């Protein structure tokens, strides 16, 4: 089964994203998958859930997946020629359906460490992979990069779902207030 979670870790727990991921992974079954969705992201198609289930079915050997998106630093996950400042959901839904139509179940696979590391937006991981790589590291930043590295160290490919596009608000209004030098 596939479970979706928007992770949150309160300040009193140190805003530890890895802790939030690991806590959720403890609750799912041994044959289940977890899809972690950033709090500022949304799927752009109505039928993404069965699409993701089929991608899992066709790629059982992949350790962790992510998707394509708009506002992100990773060039393999960011679509070219997209207007980063366009926050019209109709615009992004058209992109989502176009990508689904063209690449529905295709996955870009990485099996060796290259010059890019997966950025969250979504992380899709099985309980079996989570156990094999010994869970997520503690912390807030770099948790997604670390799981990418550890999957490859365990000979588990890392995949980008080419037909799944998630809109990412990520500082769309220029507000950097959520970034703090210290946790209160």
Q: Give the domain ranges of the chain.
A: 2-168
User: Residue 118 burial (CB < 10 Å; 0-12/13-18/19+)?
Assistant: buried
CATH class of 2-168: alpha beta
User: Residue 93 burial (CB < 10 Å; 0-12/13-18/19+)?
Assistant: middle
Per-residue pLDDT of the chain (184 residues; tens, 9 = 90+): 999 999 988 888 888 999 999 999 999 999 999 999 998 999 999 999 999 999 999 999 999 999 999 978 788 888 988 998 899 999 999 999 999 999 999 999 999 887 788 887 999 999 999 999 999 999 988 999 999 999 999 999 999 999 999 999 866 555 545 444 443 3
**Tokens matching residue 18:** 């890895």
């Amino acid at each position: 089964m596939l479970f979706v979670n928007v992770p949150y870790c309160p300040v009193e727990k140190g805003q530890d994203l890895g802790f939030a991921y690991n806590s959720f992974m403890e609750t799912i079954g041994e044959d289940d998958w977890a899809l972690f969705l950033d709090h500022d992201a949304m799927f752009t198609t109505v039928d993404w859930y069965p699409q993701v289930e089929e991608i899992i079915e066709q790629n059982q050997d992949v350790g962790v997946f992510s998707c394509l998106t708009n506002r992100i630093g990773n060039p393999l996950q960011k679509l070219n020629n997209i207007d980063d400042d366009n926050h019209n959901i109709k615009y992004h839904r058209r992109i989502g359906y176009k990508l689904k139509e063209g690449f529905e179940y295709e996955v870009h696979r990485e099996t060796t460490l290259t010059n890019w590391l997966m950025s969250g937006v979504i992380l899709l991981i099985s309980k079996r992979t989570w156990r094999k790589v010994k869970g997520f590291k503690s912390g807030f930043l770099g948790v997604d990069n670390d799981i990418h590295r550890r999957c490859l160290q365990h000979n588990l490919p890392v995949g980008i779902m080419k037909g799944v596009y998630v809109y990412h608000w990520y500082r769309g209004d220029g507000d950097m207030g959520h970034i703090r030098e210290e946790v209160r």
